[in-house]
Structure 1
Amino acid sequence: MPSRVDGSPIVIAVEPRRENSALREFAKDQPCMLQVPGHCNHNKATTVGCHSNWAEHGKGKGRKADDHYMVWGCSGCHSWLDQHGATQEEKRSAFNAALVRQVAEYKKSLRCKSLPARFSTAIKWALLQLNIDKRLDELEEMAVEAGLLAPMHLPESFRSPFPVHKTST
Structure 2
Amino acid sequence: MRDSKRLAEIRKLPCVRCGNPNSQAAHSNWAKHGKGRGIKADDSFTVPLCHVCHSDFDQYKLGNREQSEAMFEKWLAKTELMMRKNEDVF
Is the partner of 1:22 in helix, strand or coil? Answer: helix
The partner residue of 1:71 within 47, 56, 59 is: 47
Q: Is the 8 A contact 1:52 1:70 kept in 2?
A: yes
User: How large is the Cα RMSD of the aligned pairs?
Assistant: 1.8
1:19 aligns with 2:2: yes
How far apart are residue 69 of structure 1 and its match?
0.4
Unaligned runs of 5+ in 2: none
The partner residue of 1:49 within 25, 35, 48 is: 25
Unaligned runs of 5+ in 1: 1-17, 113-147, 149-169
1:31 aligns with 2:14: yes
**Residue type matched to 1:49 in 2?**
A
Paired residues for 1:60-99 under 5 Å: 60-85=36-61, 86-99=63-76
In structure 2, C-alpha distance between the alignment counterparts of 1:43 and 1:101, rounded to whole Å: 15
In structure 2, C-alpha distance between the alignment counterparts of 1:84 and 1:61, rounded to whole Å: 17
How far apart are residue 30 of structure 1 and its match?
1.6
**Residue type matched to 2:58 in 1?**
D
How far apart are residue 77 of structure 1 and its match?
1.3
* Count of residues in correspondence between the two structures: 87
Q: Is the 8 A contact 2:60 2:68 kept in 1?
A: no
Larger Rg: 1
Bigger proportion of residues as strand: 2
Higher relative contact order at CA 8 Å, sep ≥6: structure 1 or structure 2? 2
